Structure 1
Amino acid sequence: MAGANKGKGSRRSRQEWRSLLAKFDGSGLGVAAFCRREAISAASLYRWRGLLSAVGNDGRTEVVSKTAAFVDVGALSAAAPRIDLKLDLGDGLVLHLVRR
């Protein structure tokens, strides 16, 4: 088994996780199948993928902005024509805004 050399409770280094993530990227497997094969938890895979994606090539952690970009589209004049806006939020939820 590929993950047999690491026992339960053992810790992998950053380099070992980088190698595992590169192996995952090239495996063509889904997360569950890959984690079963390598005897690791999916939560650990997701955690390390997030941690290492924020690290630059020089090994230093980059600052990653968690705020979404905001686009100011300006204000509408009072005489603006009718506006009908629908936003599909997923899972069948639609936000419908109407200005008459």
Structure 2
Amino acid sequence: MDKLEPHTSKEAAWRSRLLRHAQSGKTIAAFCRDESVSTASFHIWRSKLAAASGHAANPTQPAAFIDLGTIANTSGVTSIVHPSASVPTPTSGIDIRIDLGGGIVLTITRR
């Protein structure tokens, strides 16, 4: 038997289980109880498979927080500085420009 086969079949079983959970509408605790698996195993496999596929661990929940970096306040001018942001020097207020790629720039201005 190939060494990868047990892991591959486990992986396939967990992919199927995670899909069933997503379609079930149940809480993780209720689903795991019905499936006779621990919630710890559920979380471990969900994280492991998400990392392997390059997706977020729970794609149905939006990000609750986005770190824009530090806030600098000089001469009454507040700017948010982020490594991927291009911030013009405003006369007053806050200007945030973020290049999202593909020719799309997000600009937020507060005066």
TM-score after normalising by structure 2: 0.45
Structure with the largest fraction of strand: 2
Higher RCO (CA 8 Å, separation ≥ 6 residues) = 1
